[in-house]
Structure 1
């Protein structure tokens, strides 16, 4: 920051990935205050960029600057009134990521209107939280269909083009590529004109339709089971001439976007960092689907799991991070309605607002009631953009999975660090208990030690048992019958596999032994997998040995 103020910083994106709670924001506040008092830097101005309006409001309060020294430039007129100073006249300008990207969409940074100080580019540029220089532009068949009728009367040529594009996407089956037309040139209608007659959501769809103009787009299904088809490409969101800029993002050490950016673009510089040790953090993971679809289908069961856990500590405060867009945002009310103690001790924070805030830093119990998932196509497009993979090249699925894992780790770090984890002394985090619901295939449990070095990871056992059906139900019934009749006799896998009429051991392993309901059923029956004979792997089931204790019916206990 000093190098930028002195005009000595090279044109690079400088990433500071210090963990949450270490003091990045405090350092920023003190730097800005000292800069304004420095006689050697009277003409040096600062641009501060934040992800959320709430962070701007908080920082204005914490910085304690004179109103003449700062201005706020956002899309919210009420927030802008935090200062009456015009942006061009304020040494410190606070704005949002979205505003900067909007200003730079059709120009480079140095030409962007509304971000300069007395006509000159601000020398000190700070970007708080994640910076993604590339963004995914996409439009689906459903979104195209939602635009046809609103545009049919006011802009018939545009409505006709949209209908034609929708049919082309449907015919593709979600495979291959398509040369997207230049929408403005083909229809004679600008994006700004078309936006004027539709709602905000539809205006966003139009932005993407125009953003894809003249580009070869990939055609994909957002996920294999989806009926809709999307056209996708990427676009630059941050121009290179915004450098030098300092990025304050704790996720910098775990997010794949930065790794690929550093490797392929060459203009990202990592600043010295330090990682907090997390021996004071205990994380329990429940293997269960917890995305938006899972909450729609099994919301009652999931809400009961959260309530049972919260009820187990009736005198403590809790923070729950949840999906706001499910059932009209009803998850908080679902959970509160099941609590047997004061519901006011439970705070709820939805995904999308899980970064930046310090409001919950005193809370020692936090639940991630689901993961902040994105369509697989988003992970693919990010892997392509940051990996420099062209639209005419195949992308390695390992790179897509790496991108997905990095995004999951980023969201987990940011969400859990809203709690008491961000407190602590020196290199040690504050005491905290975290609980995560996630499917096993996500690999989240294996990545937790990377996100929180030294943390203790264990299993969060569900209180509501899943009903075993099909082959799994038949397997548990066979096991229960066997050990009821012959509790001392082991049950070989081959016998159980044969009884279930499963063709080979691989299918038996994948469909039965790895099934979470089956494993929970064995636990309930008091049965475990064992190795019989000269085998390297487990090949049978046996009753668990009873723990050593007093002999039933004995009149005394020997003190050994």
Structure 2
């Protein structure tokens, strides 16, 4: 970093902005006026936070994936080093995983004197100033889980996060944040935990049986208190590795862990014809004095939970969002049953997987990314797709739950998304309570419905942006084609259009469909030219021949799935500039 480029009168804002613009230029990108306004608001809030001027609120910056939010944080830290003010106050950067911390440190190229790491039992703690010099490190990296586990009810009391004897001024939280942790678990699964542990923890199971019997007396939306003793007992069995715990499945362990976290808390009962009874609520309230803090969430513009937080709690402030132009993106949407149950059905699943295989086989030399459900004993989507293919193709796979903050597939331009990551109804109620702070049982059905649809959008956006779409240049998402298999209800078309504004959405059906209108004119002309012995035909010449002058209009017709399917069925290949009519 060349300090001589800046005068002593240069502000942190000016230096950060200059570094950011130059860094984007190195990636072949730039700031459009709209995006510049969004970055300006973020940089100003970071500067105010560092100097201790921010009011105690949570500031949400929603910059679409690929725009450079991480680059902006790194530019700000560099600006503090250049201006000589890096040691004036502390910075806390909270990331989701240890892997993200490692990547951030490597990319930022900070001197060891400037940072330290606080994570649980990991060599990362030796990075920078290490554990012994942590309090003297201006920048501290940690995980979301560490903040929640160390803070309790007061952030000021969490001395592990201190810089020179006091809480760090600038607090940055990367990815989604809620004022409390939502929990939701199935009563049937909790009952199955009791069955497994009965031979080993008879007294505990007896108390659990009594609790489950009490739950059975209640109706939907009733508030139910988890006995403090029973919840702590469950937590103790897990933490001590009690007898029988090794016989529990991962799902059962997760439910027992959530139950333990709910000791002494009220939960809401949900009853569903499909999933049975479940309890939902919140645990681990976020310390109010964590504010002021800046939240960086690319999905923030879509999530109804932030709207409710802002409206009901009043301490969330939205900074100017920045949205990509997704006109380089084509979504081929097949509306059909695509949940786990449907995919596990032999006939339905086989039909879907075969159609997916046909799509992939049409581009056997290209890389593909599939996003779908986590493999289990009854369903392995990747295995099913591979078994349906007649030729080997390079496939990558990410399952729901691991579809955020993964950058390993940014060069892949072909994405398959099968099914949606939807939660049980009780989970949406838990999100509502976490956002609003309203007691269990006082949920709002319309608001819960909005949370449900917005979570679909946010998860879809995150899944899609694992691919080349994240290669945003000057606010325009990278070229990418996705084949999406999603349920008809709620209608995914408008939801996807809002998540990816400007994208082309084609109705995709595996059943052969005839062309109509201008697409049919083009098809008929291509067939006539081939019959006349023409081997190739340029796209512009074709447009002129059928009376279509506008390039964008032609591009839209050519990218339509029905037209591409017709080309494939008729053995015509489309290149960047022309159509190859004969083999």
Give TM-score scaled by structure 2 length: 0.73
Q: 1:362 aligns with which of 399, 404, 411?
A: 411
- Please report how far the alpha carbon of residue 113 of structure 1 lies from its aligned counterpart in structure 2 after TM superposition: 4.9
C-alpha distance in 1 between matches for 2:231 and 2:367: 57
Cα pair distance change 1:392/1:417, threshold 3 Å: closer
Could you report, residue by residue, the CA deviation over 1:315-368 in whole angstroms, capped at 9, with x for unpaired residues? 222211121144477322222233344422x22122222222222222211111
Q: 2:235 aligns with which of 185, 191, 196?
A: 191
Aligned to 2:259: 209
C-alpha distance in 1 between matches for 2:270 and 2:66: 40
Could you say what the CA RMSD is over the residues aligned between the two structures, in angstroms? 3.3
Cα pair distance change 1:549/1:350, threshold 3 Å: closer
- Please report how far the alpha carbon of residue 408 of structure 1 lies from its aligned counterpart in structure 2 after TM superposition: 0.6
Could you report, residue by residue, the CA deviation over 1:150-174 in whole angstroms, capped at 9, with x for unpaired residues? 65576544322111112233454x6
- 1:335-350 correspondence runs (5 A): 335-344=385-394, 346-350=395-399
Could you report, residue by residue, the CA deviation over 1:243-282 in whole angstroms, capped at 9, with x for unpaired residues? 1111111111111111111111111111122222111111
Instruction: Select between 241-250 and 67-76 the one with higher mean Cα deviation.
Output: 67-76
Could you report, residue by residue, the CA deviation over 1:188-245 in whole angstroms, capped at 9, with x for unpaired residues? 8583465312357655434432443344432223x4222x422222235422211111
Aligned to 1:432: 480
For the Cα contact (< 8 Å) 1:155–1:194, is it kept in 2?
no
Task: For structure 2, list consecutive stretches of 5 or more residues without a partner in the other structure.
Answer: 1-45, 533-544, 547-583
- 1:476-555 correspondence runs (5 A): none
Aligned to 2:205: 159
C-alpha distance in 2 between matches for 1:126 and 1:302: 42
Could you report, residue by residue, the CA deviation over 1:386-431 in whole angstroms, capped at 9, with x for unpaired residues? 34554354622x3222111100110111111122212243132222
C-alpha distance in 2 between matches for 1:304 and 1:426: 38
- 1:441-452 correspondence runs (5 A): 441-452=489-500
Cα pair distance change 1:81/1:308, threshold 3 Å: farther
Instruction: Answer yes or no: is 1:324 the counterpart of 2:374.
Output: yes
Cα pair distance change 1:50/1:456, threshold 3 Å: same
Aligned to 1:502: none
C-alpha distance in 2 between matches for 1:53 and 1:154: 36
SS in 2 for 1:429: coil
Cα pair distance change 1:341/1:183, threshold 3 Å: same
For the Cα contact (< 8 Å) 1:12–1:269, is it kept in 2?
yes
For the Cα contact (< 8 Å) 1:317–1:364, is it kept in 2?
yes
Instruction: Answer yes or no: is 1:303 the counterpart of 2:348.
Output: no
Cα pair distance change 1:160/1:36, threshold 3 Å: farther
C-alpha distance in 2 between matches for 1:138 and 1:58: 32
Q: 1:235 aligns with which of 262, 283, 290?
A: 283
For the Cα contact (< 8 Å) 2:369–2:414, is it kept in 1?
yes
For the Cα contact (< 8 Å) 1:137–1:234, is it kept in 2?
yes
- Please report how far the alpha carbon of residue 374 of structure 1 lies from its aligned counterpart in structure 2 after TM superposition: 0.8
Aligned to 2:149: 102
Aligned to 1:377: 426
Aligned to 1:35: 80
Instruction: Answer yes or no: is 1:289 the counterpart of 2:337.
Output: yes
SS in 2 for 1:433: strand
C-alpha distance in 2 between matches for 1:350 and 1:181: 32
- Please report how far the alpha carbon of residue 62 of structure 1 lies from its aligned counterpart in structure 2 after TM superposition: 0.5
Could you report, residue by residue, the CA deviation over 1:454-507 in whole angstroms, capped at 9, with x for unpaired residues? 1111111125xxxxxxxxxxxxxxxxxxxxxxxxxxxxxxxxxxxxxxxxxxxx
Task: For structure 1, list consecutive stretches of 5 or more residues without a partner in the other structure.
Answer: 464-519, 528-543
For the Cα contact (< 8 Å) 2:332–2:484, is it kept in 1?
yes
